[in-house]
Amino acid sequence: MTVESTAARSTARRSGTGGKRATQAAAENGKPAGTGTAEAPEGAAAPGGTSRPKAEGKSRGTAAKTPAKSTRKPAAKSTAKAAPKAPAKSTGKSAAKTAAKSPAKTGTRTTDAKAPAKTRTRTTDAKNPAKAGTRAGSRARGNGSAQPDPELVQLLTPEGERVSHPDYDVDLSAEEIQGLYRDMVLTRRFDAEATALQRQGELGLWASLLGQEAAQIGSGRALREDDYVFPTYREHGVAWCRDVDPTMLLGMFRGVNNGGWDPNSNNFHLYTIVIGSQVLHATGYAMGVAKDGADSAVIAYFGDGASSQGDVAEAFTFSAVYNAPVVFFCQNNQWAISEPTERQSRVPIYQRAQGYGFPGVRVDGNDVLACLAVTKAAVERARAGEGPMLIEAFTYRMGAHTTSDDPTRYRSDEERTAWEAKDPIQRLRSYLEGAKLADDAFFARIDEESEAMGQHVREAIRTMPDPDTMAIFENVYADGHALVDEERAQFAEYQASFATEAGSGAAAGEGK
């Protein structure tokens, strides 16, 4: 049995295809995006190989002739036929028959269909061409190299070179691009100051967004004022785009409020600590928007870890059935605390949308222009009554999950170094400099504004009141509860003991 190290596992990332092309192709065949036999071979063929295009061609032909039957038995047949045509020749007819007769077994992490219990391993194998091709391609893209990923929507390379995409693009002025750079720099500065304040004991906890600025600013700036946002607890950049005072975000983490802003004043819901629940809230709100006849859109943010929650699956189901105008924006930062994405999903997260009947697309989450373009297209689609869409922003959490986490215990320094080469802020700066869209004076002004932002945050947090230590016992039960009363009394006695000890120490000092 071969077991890879944590560092090796963490570099094995999955990839796939999707976006408008997949949606349009499905629509041409007279069926909703993500359904029918045309989608079945995607899981069986290695990305970039020759087997998927052939399988898709056969499946689509079948769907055109017999649309009523294409969504059931033919799907299994097309999957079985596609397997022998995969790049690795070692997968023979027996594997294809096994896939057709016992799909549950072929879906396990095994390298040998005959002895799955004994050969359970995380290593790639020529007998499993789909996984081998996917993980090999992911390793090539995750090592900091400039090799483009054809399955990733990208408008700026890691070196800051402007590229085009056939389905998504933006036409921005120099001032607008400068504004995106300013947004990201100030958001990072605020985030860094909040982290430092937590280390100094001013905050109880802080969830950093370091490395995810492009995903948040790009998507946040794609929204209209009347669109509604449902965040998690890390969307500091989106809050900035919705004109929420950054210092208001600190109140909750200091324990002095339960969210310091009115959600309806900025169409930005309160931070949600419960993992994944806001995705259901967003879906319900979007269903209401549709019933009201409004043309606004709703966007729900969540992470790769939250994608494993049942609430997210239920939200996908309801949004698809009711054609809700909601965009699901998953920031896949590779780690759900210490759990890598490969332990969260057997396929790329955006491909899950296919099973629910709406399109999904993967975007370079460190490319602010691509995130802006894809999100803009998704919300416009929702406003037009075309239903939900899933966006997977493929990014990286360069810091800890929260300030209570130590990422060095479960991931390597090499992995972080590789992703630092794709830093979203440096990427946009390189583009601005290379295209001569900004000069040194501009960057100097942003640096000065950044320092002013840090000073403002420090002063604001130090003038905030200390949290009420007894408030945790309030509003637990409407009519009170004997156990809560007992716990309140015990905690009050514990707190009072510190004052007693401090007084005794002072008295002892005076007697010397």
Q: Tell me how far apart the alpha carbons of residues 343 and 6 are, in angstroms, rounded to a whole number.
A: 12
Q: How many other CB atoms are found less than 10 A from the CB of residue 57? A: 12
Catalytic member of 60, 362, 397, 411: 397
**Exposed, middle or buried: residue 86 (CB in 10 Å: 0-12, 13-18, 19+)?**
buried
């332990």: which residue's tokens?
343
Could you tell me which of 299, 353, 251 has the C-alpha nearest to residue 42?
A: 353
E strand or H helix that includes residue 360: strand 360-364
Token readout for 496 is 């009072």
């060095």: which residue's tokens?
408
Q: Tell me how far apart the alpha carbons of residues 187 and 362 are, in angstroms, rounded to a whole number.
A: 24
Q: Tell me how far apart the alpha carbons of residues 340 and 357 are, in angstroms, rounded to a whole number.
A: 27
Q: Tell me how far apart the alpha carbons of residues 186 and 192 are, in angstroms, rounded to a whole number.
A: 10
Strand-pair category, 326-332 with 389-394: parallel
How many Cα atoms occupy the beta-carbon half-sphere of 302 within 13 Å? 28
Q: Tell me how far apart the alpha carbons of residues 39 and 55 are, in angstroms, rounded to a whole number.
A: 9
397 in active site: yes
Catalytic member of 109, 139, 410, 458: 410
Q: What residues have CB less than 8 Å from 333, skipping those under 6 apart?
A: 211, 212, 303, 304, 365, 395, 396, 397
Could you tell me which of 22, 33, 17, 35 has the C-alpha nearest to residue 386?
A: 33
Q: Tell me how far apart the alpha carbons of residues 38 and 55 are, in angstroms, rounded to a whole number.
A: 8
Give residue 481's region: left, alpha or beta (phi > 0; psi -120 to 50). beta
At residue 297, what is the residue type? A
431 in active site: no
Catalytic member of 52, 188, 381, 401: 401
- Asked whether 112 and 119 are in contact (CB, 8 A), the reply is yes
The Cα-based distances of 135 to 47, 350, 416 in angstroms read: 10, 17, 18
Strand order in the sheet with 298-303: 228-230, 298-303, 326-332, 389-394, 360-364
Bridge partner residues of 361 (DSSP): 391
Could you tell me which of 47, 26, 50 has the C-alpha nearest to residue 38?
A: 26
Q: Which residues are catalytic?
A: 397, 401, 410
